[in-house]
Structures are given as C-alpha cells and as structure tokens.
Amino acid sequence: MNLKLLISAASISIAAFASTALEAKPHNAGMNIYRMLLSERAVERLDLTTTQQEKIKTIAESEKAAMEARSACSR
C-alpha cells in the first residue's frame, strides 16, 4: 500500500514540475513587453506622451544591452 502511495506522489510531483516547465517564459520574451507598450494601440490607450515613449525606448535598449552582456559573459 505504501509503495502505491509513493508512486502516486512521485507521479503527481513529476506532472506538476513538467507543467510549470512548459509554461516557463522563453529566453527573449521579456523584450516583447516593450514592443507591446510602444504599439499604436497601447500608446493610444495609455495616452503616452512622446517623452514617455522615448523613456520606454531607452529602457528597452538598456535592457537589451544588459541581456547581451550577460549572454556574452556566460559563453
């Protein structure tokens, strides 16, 4: 009886881990948020000024440079 319980618990744990791994964010998905924020629809809905849009672009560029630097260091 205990063996069945152990096997069931292990199976459930593996299934839970596998499902969370499948939903993990891809490596470069973080940059898509900036593209979305700078889309015409988002700019209109959020009523972003030109200054705010420029700040978003600057942040996106610095994040991209940081990610490239991290990936170059890990090689």
pLDDT digits (tens, 9 = 90+) for 22-61: 555 555 555 578 888 899 999 999 999 999 999 999 999 9
Cα distance between residue 71 and residue 75, in whole Å: 7
Global pTM reads: 0.55
H runs (alpha helix) in 1-75: 2-22, 32-37, 40-46, 50-73
pLDDT of residue 40: 93
